[in-house]
Each structure stands twice: as C-alpha cells, then as structure tokens.
C-alpha cells in the first residue's frame, strides 16, 4: 500500500483528489493533507511518504519554491495544477509526473504505476546503501560512512574534528576547515560513530577525542585542534574525564 501526502491551498481541490484516489484505495492511501505549505514542510522533514501530490500555485510559496526548501526528497513528487505551462518545469524539478486539474482517472492510474516503479527502485537503492555501510563499518573501523546529497562519503575518522547540532540538521567540521551538513539529528549521527574515537560532550556537540588540544577546567570547555571552543556539559564532565 502506497502512502500519499497532498499539499494544496484549496480544500476543495484536496477533497476532489482524495475522491479520485479512493478509486484506487487498495493501492494508495492518503495519510496527510495540508493547505499550509510551511506546515507541510515541517511534516515532510520528519516523515517520508511514498509520494507527494503538490499544487503549483499557492499564495505564500509556489510548488517549486516548496521543493527548493526540502533538502532531501526521498519520495515521488507529482505536480498538480490547472495550468499546463508548468509541465517542463515540473520535469526539471525531478517530478515523476504532472497532473492537470481536473484530474483524469486514467491519468491518475498511470501516475500510480509510475509511483510504484519509483518506490521499487528506491527500495533497491536503499538496500545497496545499507550493504555498503555495513560492509564499511565491519571491515574498516577507522572510516565512517555518511549519506549526503545523494552520495555515500567514506570519511577517515582522523579527518573529523567535531559535529554540531542545528535542530533536525547536523554539521560535521573537518580538518581542512570544510564542513558537511547532514539532514540527521545529532543522536542519529552519534549512533554512526565509533565510541572509541568520539564522545557526545554536550547536547549540541560530539567531539573527536583525538582532536582535543586543551581542556579548560575552570571554564568548562575544550579547545579543539581547529581552535574551536566546545562546551562540556556539567552532567557529562565525569564521563568525559574517564575517557583519559
């Protein structure tokens, strides 16, 4: 059973699409609908449906601006609109289909077939990704695997200095002053890292223990080799000191 989210500023358009999709209720289920694009963005940053039916013309932001605000799109996008001039732009934004309102039942049937094929390819891709990550972690404890921007990066542990949290995102700071932004919470990143090298020193920071230059006890922070100062949470101070 496919899961679908609908984003459209017109409630009547949402109800019409739900009614059309009910003809395929053994294949697809609408799990959430939104008339407010900002609320939809918040939901999609922590939930992954199989597909998104997205209106183009909305007052606060159009459908393409909406897609630009989503860093990772791990679901099929179907553009819905009453105007056919958006077709080419829809394809350029990696939409798998384009439905013209009022939506034709045969077009919707073809669209569901495309969603199924896209979902099957995604599952195979995810299986390969997990296999690569497991292989890497099993045979090389000095490398970690990071999934970002549609790529798997294999990073040397020694290249990582620290990781900082920014809500639902995390930023990895490297030796060469470069950084990598991930759409993962710090808790998720922490689970990927070998405990022997890394320590979550604060709710907002994980540090590479081999990259500490100094610990300023009176003020409660460490200085990394990059000269960044990272605070030590009071409740984690004793666990931190036991590492040495």
Q: What is the 3-state secondary structure (H, E, C) of 148-196?
A: ECCEEEEEEHHHEEEEEEECCEEEEEECCCCEEEECCCHHHHHHHCCCC
**Is 151 found in the same domain as 113?**
no
Domain range for residue 231? 140-241
Closest CA to 44 of 64, 73, 65: 73
Please report whether residue 133 resides in a domain. Answer: no
**Single pTM value for the model:** 0.52
Q: What is the CATH number of the domain that holds 92?
A: 3.40.50.2300
In a domain, 169, yes or no: yes
Residue 90 and residue 118 share a domain: yes
pLDDT, residue 174, reads 93
> How confident is the prediction for the chain on average, in pLDDT?
84
Please state the rounded mean pLDDT for residues 2-19: 96
Query: Are residue 24 and residue 118 in the same domain, yes or no?
Result: yes
Higher-scoring residue by pLDDT: 40, 188: 40
pLDDT in tens, 46-100: 888 999 999 998 988 988 899 888 867 888 899 998 877 766 566 556 688 889 8
Q: Strands of 179-182's sheet, edge to edge?
A: 179-182, 169-174, 160-166, 205-208, 198-202
What was the pLDDT predicted at 122? 53
CA distance 74 to 233: 35
Same structural domain, 18 and 67 = yes
Q: Is residue 134 part of a domain?
A: no
Domain termination site, one of 128, 152, 172: 128
Q: Do 233 and 146 fall within a single domain?
A: yes
Q: Are residues 8 and 106 in the same domain?
A: yes
CA distance 83 to 79: 11
135, part of any domain: no
CATH number, domain with residue 203? 2.40.50.1020
Indicate whether 234 belongs to any domain.
yes
Listed ranges 27-41, 118-132, 178-192, 215-229; the one with the highest mean pLDDT: 27-41
Q: Do 197 and 208 touch, CB atoms closer than 8 A?
A: yes
Domain count, the chain: 2
- Distances in whole angstroms, Cα of residue 84 to Cα of each of 6, 99, 122, 149, 190: 19, 9, 28, 30, 46
198 and 124 inside one domain: no
Name the domain boundary from 104, 128, 152. Answer: 128
Q: What is the pLDDT of residues 151-183, one digit of tens each?
A: 777 888 889 999 999 888 899 999 988 899 888
Do 145 and 97 have their domain in common?
no
Residue after which a domain boundary falls, among 128, 156, 174: 128
12 and 120 belong to one structural domain: yes
């Amino acid at each position: 059973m496919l899961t679908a989210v609908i984003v459209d500023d017109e409630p009547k358009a949402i109800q019409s699409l739900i009614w059309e999709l009910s003809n395929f209720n053994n294949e697809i289920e609408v799990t959430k609908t939104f008339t407010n694009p900002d609320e939809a963005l918040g939901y999609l940053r922590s939930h992954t449906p199989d597909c998104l039916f997205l209106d183009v013309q909305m007052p606060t932001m159009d459908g393409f601006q909406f897609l630009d605000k989503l860093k990772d799109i791990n679901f099929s996008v179907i553009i819905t609109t009453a105007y056919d001039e958006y077709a080419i732009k829809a394809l350029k934004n990696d939409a798998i289909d384009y439905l013209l309102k009022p939506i034709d039942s045969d077009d919707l049937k073809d669209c569901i077939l495309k969603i199924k094929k896209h979902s099957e390819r995604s599952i195979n891709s995810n299986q390969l990704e997990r296999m690569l990550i497991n292989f890497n972690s099993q045979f090389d404890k000095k490398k970690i695997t990071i999934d970002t921007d549609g790529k798997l990066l294999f990073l040397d542990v020694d290249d990582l200095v620290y990781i900082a949290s920014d809500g639902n995102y995390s930023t990895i700071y490297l030796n060469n002053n470069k950084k990598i932004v991930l759409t993962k919470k710090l808790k998720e990143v922490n689970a990927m890292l070998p405990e022997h090298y890394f320590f979550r020193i604060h709710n907002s920071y994980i540090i590479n223990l081999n990259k500490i230059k100094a610990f300023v006890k009176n003020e409660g922070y460490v200085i990394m080799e990059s000269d960044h100062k990272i605070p030590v949470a009071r409740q984690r101070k004793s666990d931190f000191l036991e590492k040495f």
